[in-house]
Structures are given as structure tokens and as C-alpha cells.
Structure 1
Amino acid sequence: MSQQFTKAQVAEHKDEKSGMYIIIDTGVYDVAKFLDDHPGGSKILKRVAGKDATKQFWKYHSKQVLEKYGPKLQIGTVKEEAKL
């Protein structure tokens, strides 16, 4: 799982067919196969697909949730981009 993604690449994956990628902190997660299992429903995951969901995630979840599901869903990390 050493794949790195730019934010633009993550933004291209926002439906079930191409994968539904979200960013939490520096991790990139594909939540497409988690839609039916998400306790808050699939609607919220669909709304943040292709985006940085860090703020929303930490508002409603604890560190234990990421430790439990993160390893199964993480596909890579966010590539550091040059800031001009």
C-alpha cells in the first residue's frame, strides 16, 4: 500500500464504478465497498467522495474507528504537492 495520490486524482474517484476515494489526514481510503456497512448510511459517504473528509470524519468518529476499518479500506496516501 505504498501508492500515492494527488488530491486531483482522489477527486476523480467519486462513484462506485471508479471507486469512492476519500482523504482522512494523509490517508486515502476507498469506501465504495463500505457504503452498505456505514452506520450513518451511504448518503454521507457519497457526499464526501473525492474530497478531503478529515474534518467531517473526526467530528463524528474516534481514533478507534479508523484503527478498526482503516487497514481494510486504505489504498494509499496523499502525495505532498508543491505550494507556490
Structure 2
Amino acid sequence: MSKQFTKAEVAQHKDENGMYIIIDDGVYDIANFLDEHPGGAKILKRMAGKDATKQFWKYHSKNVLEKYGGKLKVGTLKEAAKL
């Protein structure tokens, strides 16, 4: 079973030791991907600790997530309690 994170926990990971983003319900550590990103590290650093779903799908196809997601995924987003 993969580790589950709250949005608050993801928000705490914003540096090169652990830079997390959310895409759909997946949590990805992009710290070691900064130099590989064709669009540059700056945009990834700007999204660190945040939900990047909308921005990711605007510029990427499903193939990109299939290619890189497996090695970058560290867990899933924990559902918030619905009241």
C-alpha cells in the first residue's frame, strides 16, 4: 500500500530534499527531476507543495505521466473528511 498524504503534508515539501506536487490523486517527488524537465526547473519549483493537476494536464499528455510517474510517485492524496 502506498503512503497517503494530506494537502498540508504535501505543502511542507518544497525544497530539493523533497519537492512534492499533486497530480489528480497522486503525490510525486520532483526534486530529482528538476534538471530533466524540458520546461526548466523554475516552473516545477513554483508548483512545489501544491496541486499541479490543472497546470500539468494543460501542457502534458497521459503518456508523460505514464513515462515518469512510476519513478516519481511517492504516494496518494488522502481524502479529506466530508461533513
What is the match of residue 49 of structure 1? 48
**2:35 match: secondary structure:** helix
Q: For 1:38-77, list aligned pairs within 5 A.
A: 38-77=37-76
Distance 1:81 1:49 in 2: 20
Tell me how far apart the structure 2 counterparts of residues 59 and 3 of structure 1 sit (CA, whole Å): 27
Give the SS at the match of 1:65. helix
Q: Match for 2:37: what amino acid?
A: H
Residue 28 of structure 2 corresponds to 29
**How far off its partner does 1:83 sit?**
2.8
CA distance in 2: counterparts of 1:20 and 1:2, whole angstroms: 18
State TM-score, norm by structure 1. Answer: 0.96
Structure 1: any 5+ residue segments left out of the alignment? none
TM-score (norm 2): 0.97
- Alpha-carbon RMSD across the aligned residues, in angstroms, is 0.9
Which runs of no fewer than 5 residues in structure 2 stay unpaired? none
Identity of aligned residues (%): 81
Once the two structures are superposed, what CA deviation does each residue of 1:32-83 show, in whole Å capped at 9, x if it has no partner? 0000000000000000000000000000000000000000000000001113
